Structure 1
Amino acid sequence: MSEASEGKHGVQSIEIGMQVLRALAGGERAMMLKDIAAIAGMPASKAHRYLVSLIRAGMVEQDRETSLYDLGPLALHVGLAAIDRLDRIQLGLNAIAELRDRVNETTALSVWSENGPIIVRGERPRRAITVNVVTGTALDVLSSASGQIFAAYLPREQISKLIETELSEGRAPVGADSWPAIETMFERVRQTGISAVSGYHLVPGVEAVGAPVFNAGGDITLTMLVVGIQGMFDMRPEGQVVRELIAAANTLSERLGSSRRIVPA
């Protein structure tokens, strides 16, 4: 077999071994052989042979008392190295560009700062009438989709001062002018996995829907947005825009090492 042919076909035993490792990594705790084999879709005897090799390589370890298998020290080292090399912003920019192509609407990425959410960049669709999202735009917490998403998942002490300022300055949206109402709004965001805002006061006639992106620690790290023109934008939970947004946010969270997912109510 030629080198080119070998390179194209790969090494099947490694691919099978990765099935076993992926099954183990998907569990939340140490696992029994039979459970690993079931998830990997192979007989327990076959899974055991691969686990032995993975143990020798340091990717898996086995508790001598319980016989349970878990990820080994090399797996931890590889995982930490991968996380350290991740560029969340670049991955996020790639994700919103791909999402823009799927929904043909303006998409954007935002991060949290000490002054609230800020737009990192927007991607305009290939259509005549669009919404332009300006890089560096600072958004309110209560009246923007991005702000509501971040605030729903961040600790209260990190957001309370900004919210108090917006309340005192009359910048809260209708129905969110008290802490009980605000907490209800945030709980709705957590239950649905998204925030939908219509008629944002900075840009009249604009609608936006946002979804959270989580990091390896399970904390919110970014918000992905789709922005459209009021009356011309589908924000229905079952619509294509929201479905594609949730799928894109979940994929990006997974890429960042998170097992946390948006599961709409």
Structure 2
Amino acid sequence: MSTANDELEGKHGVQSLEVGMSILRAMATGRRSMMLKDIAQAAGMPPSKAHRYLVSLIRSGLVEQDRLTSRYDLGPFALNLGLVALDRVDRIRLGLLAINDLRDLTNETVALSVWSEGGPVVVRWERPRRPITVNVVTGTSLSLLRSAGGRVFAAWLPERQTEALIGRELDSGRTPAGVRSMDDARALLAQVRDAGLAILTGDYFARGVEAAAAPVFNFKNEITMAIAIVGVEGSMDLSPGGATLAALRRAADDLSRRLGVSPAQD
């Protein structure tokens, strides 16, 4: 039979556990082993208090300490938990949720693509609530140079994975204006990396369409998906400081974090 105290504790949680988690969170975002004073500062508590919790975390295997440097780092049990969590992540399910939210926010067609043996493939798209839209067919293979999603994959994948496909596009002659050689393609993809996303307002593989795409990374900082916003040419604000591209960047960054990418540190 539960008591009032049990019910109250159930609602409020266990404060000591929450404090311990704040220490683990500080260590996880530190990206390297840390001294006690740095952990305490990052967790917002006195070093003496942080030390007491670290002792318990070490006993549980969540933290370990280097005896030579006195620095603390995540322990074997914490690493095991992380690997188990990553193994259970359903990236496509999370991607579908992300493009659904982005569609609602921008009222534009939004597509999710992944890499396959034959190049990027659209696995899902969400249609906006407006009379004139661009329909994206699930299963469509994307051009590496004439689609925004394709350019994103070509920009962040190792060249050994994309060189043959890009070569075939160059040989076919169906390439963007000014791209006639592998060096031209490399220069184009370098611009995509510098911008952090791909914007295509002309030379799209489908007529009268424009698009922008952003990369989604996994916990290894490898590109794993691309999110693209697609619209009728001239209908979207694709200016660098516009709301559309800002929403696209946020969606891709948020999804990358859910897949294990750590937030950028100052």
Pairwise same-fold verdict (TM > 0.5): yes
* Correspondence for 1:209: 212
The answer to whether the Cα contact below 8 Å between 2:146 and 2:205 also exists between their aligned partners in 1 is: no
Query: Which residue, 91, 95, 107 being the options, matches 2:94?
Result: 91
Report Cα offsets for 1:144-181 as digits up to 9, x if no partner.
Answer: 10111001111111111111110011111112222222
Greater mean deviation of Cα atoms: 198-207 or 134-143? 198-207
Q: Distance in 2 between matches of 1:19 and 1:259?
A: 16
**3-state SS, counterpart of residue 5 of structure 1:** helix
* Correspondence for 2:196: 193
Residues 1-265 of structure 1 mapped to structure 2, 5 A cutoff: 1-259=4-262
The answer to whether the Cα contact below 8 Å between 1:108 and 1:119 also exists between their aligned partners in 2 is: yes
- TM-score normalised over the length of structure 2: 0.94
**3-state SS, counterpart of residue 130 of structure 2:** coil
- TM-score normalised over the length of structure 1: 0.95
The answer to whether the Cα contact below 8 Å between 2:109 and 2:230 also exists between their aligned partners in 1 is: yes
Shift of 1:113: 1.1
The answer to whether the Cα contact below 8 Å between 2:63 and 2:73 also exists between their aligned partners in 1 is: yes
Q: Distance in 2 between matches of 1:89 and 1:228?
A: 23
Counterpart of 1:71, as a letter, is L
The answer to whether the Cα contact below 8 Å between 2:177 and 2:203 also exists between their aligned partners in 1 is: no
Greater mean deviation of Cα atoms: 212-221 or 128-137? 128-137
Percent identity between matched residues is 57
Q: Distance in 2 between matches of 1:87 and 1:234?
A: 32
Shift of 1:7: 2.7
Greater mean deviation of Cα atoms: 72-81 or 120-129? 120-129
The answer to whether the Cα contact below 8 Å between 1:208 and 1:225 also exists between their aligned partners in 2 is: yes
Counterpart of 1:32, as a letter, is M
Aligned residues: 262
Q: Distance in 2 between matches of 1:98 and 1:201?
A: 25
Report Cα offsets for 1:114-167 as digits up to 9, x if no partner.
Answer: 211100000111222221111101111111101110011111111111111100
Q: Distance in 2 between matches of 1:201 and 1:212?
A: 18
Q: Which runs of 5+ in 2 are unaligned?
A: none
Q: Distance in 2 between matches of 1:214 and 1:201?
A: 24
**3-state SS, counterpart of residue 61 of structure 1:** strand
Greater mean deviation of Cα atoms: 44-53 or 71-80? 44-53
Shift of 1:202: 3.6
Counterpart of 1:208, as a letter, is A
Q: Note the aligned Cα RMSD (angstroms).
A: 1.5
**3-state SS, counterpart of residue 196 of structure 1:** strand
Shift of 1:3: 4.3
Greater mean deviation of Cα atoms: 122-131 or 204-213? 122-131
Shift of 1:97: 0.6
Report Cα offsets for 1:5-64 as digits up to 9, x if no partner.
Answer: 333221121111111100101122111011111111111111111111111111000011
Q: Which runs of 5+ in 1 are unaligned?
A: none
